[in-house]
Amino acid sequence: MTQLISYEPATGAELWRGETGNVDAEVGAARAGWAGWATKPFEDRAETLRRFADIVRARADEFADIIARETGKPLWEAKGEVDAVIGKVGISITAYGERTPERRMDGALGAQTAIRHKPHGVLAVLGPYNFPAHLPNGHIVPALLAGNAVVFKPSEKTPASGAFLFERFREAGVPESAIRLVQGGREEGKAVAAHPGIDGLLFTGSAGAGAALNRQFADTPQRILALELGGNNPLVVWDTPDIHAAATIVVQSGFLSAGQRCTCGRRLIVRDGTEGPLLQEVGKILDRVIVGAPHDQPAPFMGPVIDNDAAAQVLAAYEALIAKGGVALRPMTRPDTGKPFLTPGIVDVTDVQDLPDEEIFGPLVQLIRVANFDAAIAAANATRYGLAASVVTDSADLYRRFWAGARAGVINWNRPTNGAPSNAPFGGVGISGNHRPSAFYAADYCAYPVTSVEAEEARATIGQGLLDA
């Protein structure tokens, strides 16, 4: 085992230090004891998780402080993430009842057909760094409710947040065999995903990593694989009279969480020749946007990206667009080369040839000008991804056309691209996922249906194909 250290991106200070985990030991412990958790009545498991929500609520300020310091996101945003962790329990209990209920139907000869759901067994959860509590929790809670054991590996960039979340499950009374923690980097993540002792993997992360996992799991179709991946999300602004509201939606879509949400708007699509007033209003808002550390006063709108490597990658992607012929409408800057703060950037890429279809995970928006609304829909769909899309327009007819034509799992109207609620399904098409939507539909991949034809007495006849007695 080696040392794993977490540093605060806003300050560079060390936040957490610990050892990497033993994958074999943690999976083995879950494998040996998960059946005891699975055989508990559902209401017992639900009550344990309600207790978990109460414990998180009692320590919400402490939890939010850890998340803010470790990710660099503003404290107000970290508090919202903790609220989502708490709310996930009630939502998941409701979802379990609606998505995986027991059903009975009358059958022939006095029999009944019963439909029930069973847990898979041991499920691994690999968490991301941008929402180090909310997103893994969105897998862990429904998995535990269904009766699975969970082996949780947080992102190596946010181990402190992952450890705090894990400890609250233990504090609530989730048995040691039902939830295990593996700290570590990519090697530990690969080892968890490849371990023969898991019955499935629930993953949130990049499309590239998701594709690699999909290939890895191709030879084990008996294991469930749920992928929640990234997006190159379009935001279309078209014929709207409220330019300030539209500009606000652009800023929220593109720059919330320093652009580190999989649902952030990456491509702004507008009618050619009408972009001037919108961009002017966006610029006015960005002139007022505060980029700062989590606890700064006044509170920042956005913090740094996760680390210096990420900042360098985003800045390099921005510079590559300029080198290809993109026009910087709002230059991206890095005020302090020693820290991963970036200012919001906007690049007109309308005339860029061979525009890269990549998720640039940072505060960068690409402007695309088109001639008509059909071209806007075509531009929105000009991507391998298909997570989120949004249109800002006062025309219900245009929204209906956009909804019908846009290829995405989340399609919004007059709202930011990053506005998906937890009490609805969340997932994408294309390379944004593998048709395993999470959030309210997470119950679907945490248990499998079992059909049973049942009769209290054995009754059977063979009506054809027998010789006379």
- What single string gives the DSSP state of each residue in 280-312? HHHHHHHHH--B--TT-SSPPSB---SSHHHHH
Residue 105: C-alpha distances to residues 110, 422, 453 (Å): 11, 32, 9
Residues 262, 139: Cα–Cα separation, whole Å: 16
Helix axes 42-58, 60-71, angle to 10 degrees: 70
Active site residue 262: yes
Q: Active-site residue among 77, 228, 275, 281?
A: 228
**What angle is formed at CA 231 by the lines to CA 227 and CA 232, rounded to 5 degrees?**
160
Phi, psi of 388 (to 5 degrees): -130, 150
Q: Which of 155, 181, 154, 164 is nearest to 66 (CA)?
A: 164
Residues 191, 24: Cα–Cα separation, whole Å: 9
CB 133 within 8 A of CB 152: no
Contacts 24+ apart (CB under 8 A), 73-77: 73/257, 73/258, 73/294, 73/302, 73/303, 74/292, 74/294, 74/299, 74/300, 74/301, 74/302, 74/303, 75/294, 75/295, 75/299, 76/299, 77/257
Phi, psi of 149 (to 5 degrees): -90, 150
Phi, psi of 47 (to 5 degrees): -65, -35
Q: Active-site residue among 26, 81, 262, 275?
A: 262
CB 78 within 8 A of CB 68: yes
Tokens of 431: 């390379």
Per DSSP, the three-state class of 187 is helix
Tokens of 22: 């033993």
Phi, psi of 366 (to 5 degrees): -105, 125
Q: Which of 135, 139, 127, 242 is nearest to 192 (CA)?
A: 127
Residues 421, 204: Cα–Cα separation, whole Å: 17
Active site residue 264: no
Positions marked active-site: 228, 262
